[in-house]
Amino acid sequence: MYQVLYRKWRPQTFADVSGQQHITATLQNEVRSGRLSHAYLFTGSRGTGKTSCAKILAKAVNCLHPVDGNPCNQCDVCRGIDAGTVMDVEEIDAASNNGVDNIRALREEVNFTPAVGQYRVYIIDEVHMLSTGAFNALLKTLEEPPEHVIFILATTEVHKVPATVLSRCQRFDFHRIGTADLAARLRFVAEQEGFGLTPDAADRIAYLADGGMRDALSILDRCAGVENVTTQRVEQVVGLAGSDSLFALADAIADGRLADLLTLLAELHAQSLDMNRLCDQMIGHFRNLMIAKAVPDGGDLLAGSADRRRLLNQAERFSLGRVLHILTTLQTAMERMKTAANRRVELEMALIGLMQNDQNAAHPAPAQPTPAQPADVTPKPAKPAAESEQEALRRSQAAAEKYSRPLPEEPPLPEEPPMQEEAPAAEETAPSPTPAANDGAPYPSFAPWPDVLDALAKTNRMMAAVLSDSDAYCNGDLVLIRSPQAQFIDLIRQPQNRASVREAIEKVTGATYRLGPYKPEQAQPAAPADPVRRLLDTLPEQIHLVDLDAQTE
């Protein structure tokens, strides 16, 4: 009967365990010297070798002819443990045997001496699944077991194990296996099985396994139906979008080609590609672009990428701030996909919104000219239905105050309204500052701004990246920020981002400032004509005040 690769190639000695030398060396020395603990706790992510090390340790302590701390794998005891016929080594699944009665039965068994070996070894897998009563029933036996008993507890969620159990065990933390170690083991297994495996395909499988040897061997087993396993074969079997598709999607985003982007998405959907997995792949691709922008010589940080040089070239087409904004958008879309009725629509919505923001930033809406209309033929606009008499009176009084004030020699600069912490939407409507009349420049530059960005980079790297090419101006206790990044307005609306910018300013200057976005002043569309205002415009200036006073009286 065929045996799957991850079972067939399970490590048989400590030297066969990949990527856990800090653990295997300690266990081998303990077996060699005879200084064994009565209880071990193995913790780590799935497929990192916890159960394999437990079985190797169980064989090593009972082996009739141990070899430098390793089991010989040739004696009757070693072969019996591998076959599961030796009753001295018992593997218990705590997920299905998690009750108090199961632990009570175990406490009665530990009193019996070993049948063929030196120790009775109990391997309790997924120990965090035990109930509270079962843990309490195990405590005393775990602390003071008979001299011939060794407990080995294995778990992927050590935070669920009570502290009273942790304190009674010798703990070993298994790390995720590195990509290089995974790829080397995969090439060895492929060579022993008699089929080819390209280096790129081995790296791709190692990247998809995410540090788990069992997952890596399972993927290799699914790809082993051909004579030579390539990267294209891996992507086809696993159901992933190819690297060319990911680069094409990123190029469409960089160029602003929305139609091509949606067409590529439709083609991938027609190939039955899961949209959730595609979104995850796009996050991984833009994560590599982020690393390429932040650390050009990323080394192992870019492990698993199909074409490193091509990735570095594409990274030049994006700013770091834009990559961060794209990652935030994709991660939000992936969270929404968990409850969405149609995942494709959710991803399309995210990409269209992303492209729309970029287009709005690159092509701002043109100002609408005010239409010229003769005063004698201007039709009187209808009064809005929602406008009350009190509202009309208020507007009339405002017009009267405006025309009754004497005109200053130079128009004063408008004061920016304060930012509201409780209402971020107020930042959207904050009026833009009026440039000075002498040279058309904005308010005076905020001199400490470069130092503020340095301080901000230590507390909020994302905002520092978005503001890397920004300018700031000062008007009293108000700091106006101008940034060409499209996502700046969206990010500055978030209270935590505003707070980090304010704290950086206060740290550099020692003073507290209000914040506001600076936008170049644009002509606004003409507002609907006010009947009172139009009447005032048609009268001579010297009787404006008289008419208004007569109306108010």
CATH no. of 243-362:
1.20.272.10
| Domain 5-174, CATH homologous superfamily name and number | P-loop containing nucleotide triphosphate hydrolases (3.40.50.300)
Q: What is the DSSP letter of 543?
A: G
**Are 37 and 29 a contacting pair, CB within 8 Å?**
no
Cβ count near 403 (within 10 Å): 14
Tokens of 369: 């000219």
Question: How far is the first Cα of the chain from the last one, in angstroms, to the nearest whole number?
Answer: 105
Can you give the residue ranges of every domain in the chain?
A: 5-174, 179-238, 243-362, 416-517
- By C-alpha distance, which of 291, 161, 297, 306 is closest to 247? 306
* Pairing mode of beta strands 471-475, 478-482: antiparallel
Residue with tokens 């990509």: 179
The angle at the Cα of 205, spanning 204 to 206, to the nearest 5 degrees, equals: 90
Whole-number Å distance between alpha carbons of 468 and 450:
9
Q: Which of 287, 331, 332, 280 is nearest to 305 (CA)?
A: 287
Count CA within 13 A, CB hemisphere, residue 480. 20
* pLDDT score for 272: 84
Q: Report the 10 Å Cβ neighbour count for 193.
A: 14
Which residue numbers in the chain have pLDDT < 70? 298-301, 303-306, 357-442, 519-553
Query: For residue 502, which amino acid is it?
Result: R
Hey, what are 261's tokens? 């982007």
- Considering only CA atoms, which of 489, 519, 486, 517 is closest in space to residue 358? 486
Question: For residue 70, which amino acid is it?
Answer: N
Diameter of the chain measured on Cα atoms:
118
Whether 122 contacts 112, CB under 8 Å: no
Token pair recorded at residue 442? 């904005």
Report domain 179-238's class: mainly alpha
CA torsion, points 283, 288, 294, 298, in degrees to nearest 10? 150
Taking the C-alpha atoms of residue 219 and residue 192, their distance in angstroms, rounded to an integer, is: 16
Angstrom distance (rounded) from CA 223 to CA 44: 27
d(CA 231, CA 117): 47
Q: If you search the block for the tokens 């048609």, which residue do you land on? A: 538
The dihedral formed by the CA atoms of 357, 359, 360 and 362, expressed in degrees to the nearest 10: 120
Quote the CA–CA distance of 318 and 326 in Å, as a whole number. 10
Helix (H) or strand (E) holding 495: helix 495-509
534 three-class SS: helix
Q: Tell me the fold of 416-517.
A: GMP Synthetase; Chain A, domain 3 (3.30.300)
Residue 113 tokens, joined? 């001496």
Interatomic CA distance for residues 206 and 176, integer angstroms: 11
CB within 8 Å of 490: residues ≥ 6 apart: 325, 357
SS (H, E, C) 207-270: HHHCCCHHHHHHHHHHHCCCCEECHHHHHHHHCCCCHHHHHHHHHHHHHCCHHHHHHHHHHHHH
* 166 close to 41: Cβ distance less than 8 angstroms: yes
By CB neighbour count within 10 A (0-12 exposed, 13-18 middle, 19+ buried), where does 121 fall? buried
* Gyration radius of the chain's alpha carbons: 35
Going by their DSSP bridges, the two strands 149-155 and 120-125 should be labelled as parallel
The rounded distance, in Å, linking the Cα atoms of 89 and 91 is 7
The Cα 337–Cα 331 span in angstroms is 10
Q: In Å, how far are 92, 97, 133, 383 from 102, measured between CA atoms?
A: 10, 6, 11, 82
Q: What is the pLDDT of residue 361?
A: 55
Tokens of 212: 């788990």
pLDDT value for 487: 77
Burial of 212 (0-12, 13-18, 19+ CB in 10 A): buried
d(CA 161, CA 150): 19
With contact defined as beta carbons under 8 Å apart, do 54 and 152 qualify?
yes
Buried b or exposed e, range 415-447, using 16+ CB within 10 angstroms: ebeebeeeeeeebeebebbeeeeeeeebbeebe
Compute the distance between CA of residue 97 and CA of residue 335 in angstroms, rounded to an integer: 35
466-476: b or e for each residue (b if 16 or more CB lie within 10 Å)?
bbeebebbbbe
